[in-house]
Structure 1
Amino acid sequence: MFAPLAWFKQGLPAQRLTPTRILFLGYILIIGIGSGLLLLPFATTGDGISWVDAVFTATSATSITGLIVLDTPHDFTLFGQCVILGLIQIGGIGYMTIAALFVIILGRRIGMQERLLLQEALNVMSPEGILRFVLQVVKVTFIVEGIGAALFALRFWEDFEPAYAVYYGIFHSISAFNNAGFTLFSTSLENYQLDVALNSVAMILIIAGGIGFLVYDNVVGVIQKRHLRLSVHTKMVLSVTAVLIVMGTLIVLLFEHANTRTLGMLSWPEKVMVAGFQAVSGRTAGFGTVDASLLTDSTLYFVVLLMFIGGSPGSTGGGIKTTTFGTIVMALWTTMRGYRDVMVFHRRIPADIVAKAFYLAGLAIVLVSVATLILEFVEEQGFLDTLFEVISAAATVGMSTGDGASRSLSASFSDGGKLLIALLMLIGRVGPLAISIAIVGGYQHARYRYAEEKVVIG
């Protein structure tokens, strides 16, 4: 039995302990522990931090967002930075995955309730084969992070002493693969804007983390003959991801190529590289090689759309997910053409999945709209900047137009505003769809149907 599950079972009626609720409570527990560690006097370099800033930072790290109200390299000691890094790893790989790994190592049996909890945490379709999938997740994570850390360390070796180069390599590899966006530089990666090697490694790690472990499992399964073919899920994830990267790069180029404060003074190869990095990182990770406050309003709004879409299911990215976006686009396309069914790659998408995609997108729009209205009214930081911050939090991206210094715009918010952003980050990590299910207690299937009557649309 997993410890969090055992604790929660003691305090709540059994019928109320749905996997989604346990998952949500587990994240709150981890954030609480992380906040306590960050409040320790030796976690920060100054006179300590407020409990609100500690909760905000712990939530940002656990939800792998990257919004900051304190300057990570200057305001936190090595201990504090390691706490943040640990929270990123736990939040990225999932605390239930880590718990399951220890149970497997100890040779303990994992019951059906725990398997269902893992299914919810890893966002897979069935608990069947879940333990093999857990091992696959851990293996892929540490192999990719290890390679990334080595490559980053080799690059940082030119700028720092060996010990620092290794530490910086490990920190940024974990942060990049988990799409967290935390860096040990006050200006993010702006000083490495034209560094081809560092940009390439960072983008590969971000994309690898944002594709999702379901895709890795399917691809490896095809190679090992466990699966006959690539699933529609895998094909859609890879297709939508590729389209968003290419389209994102071209649109950022279009809006920024003449902006002398961003890409205007660069050569065309440099413009393409910087624009490509913004398209990749701006959708899921939040690293920046360009000061977001200098981007045109058109680019900022386009990045808002990219953040809203986010990564893929079962990945370290947030947003409504690439498959949700792909399903909605195909549903609109098939409806325009007069087809009854939504078809993708010669397969029919079930109607309940299509309805769930529209429900998730609608729920996310309502969430960010309400939060933006509240924060714009209370904080008065400008509509587009506030919208950008809200989407960045809810989609767990971490990109921000900033507070005029080296911190996110949230640093200039009141305590209430910071806590609202923290709540958005937590909801974004668990998922608004999962949160809504946890609140209502699951799907309710009515045993009756009313008579049908049409309404006029449009």
Structure 2
Amino acid sequence: MWFTARNKISTAFRLKHRLGISGNRRPPRGRGALSSSKLFVGSFLLLTLAGTVGLKVIPGLYQEQSLTWHEAAFTATSAVCVTGLIVVDTATYFTWEGQAFLLLLIQLGGLGMLTLTSMVITALGGRPSLRAESATATVRPAMPYIPPRKLIISVVKFTILFEAIGAILLYAIWSPQMGWSEAIWPAVFHSVSAFCNAGFSTNSNSLVDFQHSPATLLAISFLVVTGGLGFVTMEEFSERLWRKKRARRLSVHTSLVIVTTIVLLLGGWFLFALFEWRGCMASMPLVDKLSNSLFMSVTSRTAGFNSIDYGAASDSSNFLTILLMMIGGSPGSTAGGMKTTTFALLGLVAWSRLRSRPTVTFADRSIPEETIQHSVGLTVIYTAIVMIGILLITSIGDLLGDHGTLLPRMFEVVSAFNTVGLSMGLTDTLSPISRWILIGLMFVGRTGPLAVAAALVVRRAGNTTYRLAYEDVNVG
């Protein structure tokens, strides 16, 4: 035992010496976390402000009159935060130049999300700490470390590749009906919007006109799913498929993302088909029923496109959509929500407690308690913000004499905070103050988790070496 501990300590010392790390050096308390949080929030805030001002001052963006300031702020926030909620019709209100400006905001917001979240994930899980390495020789990093410059270049290549594939697919599907030249812009716009999970469309009714085109719905679904899986997951897949040398097994992170995504897609597909088979899809042929119910399962988790009218859907479908919107996509992706891994970890925690297991396990690995606590805390924060948002929107509507029902308001708040973009037709009827609340929800829903994760990167290194005395509390 003495020799083993001595060898581990000496290994850690040699590693610190090679990296040039002093044993007495500590990061300045709070400075790193503050700057990282400011970088995340500030970049999206500046882009949103630039988009708002651009929508007001750049000429030639509109068919007729320009947007008001609160409409411009709402539209810019929705584009940068890749949400998709709109207060004016993108197809008829904007010129080609206006649509191109919105697409630029969507692309920058989506690229920024992929880059920043991927950096945070690799910083949190890319390398075990020196203390952990000195304690055990079997610690395996959550995923391979990628240098920031290489990561940014890879994210850009990854994004361009899939958006190009999507645009070619959509162009091939639409050009026979739209015309060879007229199909170019819609194909490019929808490919970028779908991959970024933005939900903006050059059609007034989103994709309702394509509900009888299974090829269109499948192509859009492919883009939405790949954009929602996350760069880290796709990068690990590419290493496993294309590199000649033998790749290591899939990380627990990637395995959990894939399994949870498949379960949610198949489960949502079955339930939406069950709820709407004799509902809003009653008049559709069998193939269209299957393709539209699958599309509803895909788009509910932050994509924002719709091939059916959610205002005409059943309450069961709309409530299921709310649940899927809360879950969202996967970490390191363009999607919002509390993320598939958070949802999966909550289920694993419940399963381990029911089996009286002291640790949470998946794929023959134990999940660190710190990660479990983080997922629980994130869920509590998300739920609290959504509840407050519903209360605000509902109370403001009632005070202004708009006595609407609860479900559309809940739907709108969850869609905004989780950056989905689906609506039951309530967005353009809201008062300006309610729209400002949705703006805040969209921005916080997009940047809040990033700021928390960025702070964790530094705070992990500066953990205190003491704790206060335990004292129990009765629960249940």
- 1:370 pairs with 2:388: yes
1:383 matched residue in structure 2: 406
SS of corresponding position for 1:228: coil
Q: CA deviation at 1:93?
A: 1.1
1:420 matched residue in structure 2: 437
- 1:155 pairs with 2:173: yes
SS of corresponding position for 2:366: strand
- 1:76 pairs with 2:94: yes
2:417 matched residue in structure 1: 394
- 1:324 pairs with 2:342: yes
SS of corresponding position for 1:343: strand
- 1:229 pairs with 2:246: no
Q: Indicate how the Cα distance of structure 1 residues 121 and 220 shifts in structure 2: closer, same or farther if over 3 A, else same.
A: closer
Are the equivalent residues in 2 in contact too, given 1:155–1:197 (CA < 8 A)? Answer: yes
Q: Indicate how the Cα distance of structure 1 residues 185 and 122 shifts in structure 2: closer, same or farther if over 3 A, else same.
A: farther
Aligned residues: 419
1:190 matched residue in structure 2: 208
Q: Deviations over 1:373-417 (max 9, x none)?
A: 000110243211111111111111100001xxxxxx222222221
Among residues 324, 332, 342, which one is paired with 1:306 in the alignment? 324
Q: TM-score, normalised by structure 2?
A: 0.83
Q: Indicate how the Cα distance of structure 1 residues 128 and 184 shifts in structure 2: closer, same or farther if over 3 A, else same.
A: closer
Distance in 1 of aligned mates of 2:374 and 2:219: 35
Distance in 1 of aligned mates of 2:209 and 2:255: 36
Q: Deviations over 1:392-444 (max 9, x none)?
A: 11111100001xxxxxx2222222211111111111222446359769x9678
1:10 matched residue in structure 2: none
Q: Deviations over 1:51-74 (max 9, x none)?
A: 111011011010111000010011
1:57-456 → structure 2 map (5 Å cutoff): 57-94=75-112, 97=115, 119-120=119-120, 125-126=125-126, 128-223=146-241, 224=243, 225=245, 227-259=247-279, 262-380=280-398, 381-402=404-425, 409-432=426-449, 434=451, 445-456=463-474
Are the equivalent residues in 1 in contact too, given 2:419–2:442 (CA < 8 A)? Answer: yes
Q: TM-score, normalised by structure 1?
A: 0.86
2:74 matched residue in structure 1: 56
Q: Deviations over 1:240-259 (max 9, x none)?
A: 00000000011111211121
Q: Indicate how the Cα distance of structure 1 residues 273 and 87 shifts in structure 2: closer, same or farther if over 3 A, else same.
A: same
SS of corresponding position for 1:18: helix
SS of corresponding position for 1:348: strand
SS of corresponding position for 2:311: helix
Are the equivalent residues in 2 in contact too, given 1:20–1:117 (CA < 8 A)? Answer: no
Q: CA deviation at 1:86?
A: 0.4
Q: Which amino acid aligns with 1:415?
A: P
Distance in 2 of aligned mates of 1:144 and 1:383: 39
Query: Identity, % of aligned pairs?
Result: 35
SS of corresponding position for 1:300: helix
Q: Deviations over 1:341-367 (max 9, x none)?
A: 000010000000000000001100000
2:23 matched residue in structure 1: none
Q: Which has the higher contact order (CA 8 A, sep 6+)?
A: 2
Larger-gyration structure (1/2): 2
Q: Indicate how the Cα distance of structure 1 residues 333 and 21 shifts in structure 2: closer, same or farther if over 3 A, else same.
A: same
**Structure 1: any 5+ residue segments left out of the alignment?**
1-12, 98-115, 403-408
Distance in 1 of aligned mates of 2:152 and 2:377: 29
Distance in 1 of aligned mates of 2:452 and 2:440: 12
Are the equivalent residues in 2 in contact too, given 1:410–1:421 (CA < 8 A)? Answer: no
1:12-27 → structure 2 map (5 Å cutoff): 17-27=34-44
Distance in 2 of aligned mates of 1:180 and 1:143: 18
Q: CA deviation at 1:272?
A: 1.5
Q: CA deviation at 1:266?
A: 2.1
Distance in 2 of aligned mates of 1:329 and 1:21: 33
Q: CA deviation at 1:43?
A: 1.3
Which shows bigger deviation, 367-376 or 137-146?
A: 137-146
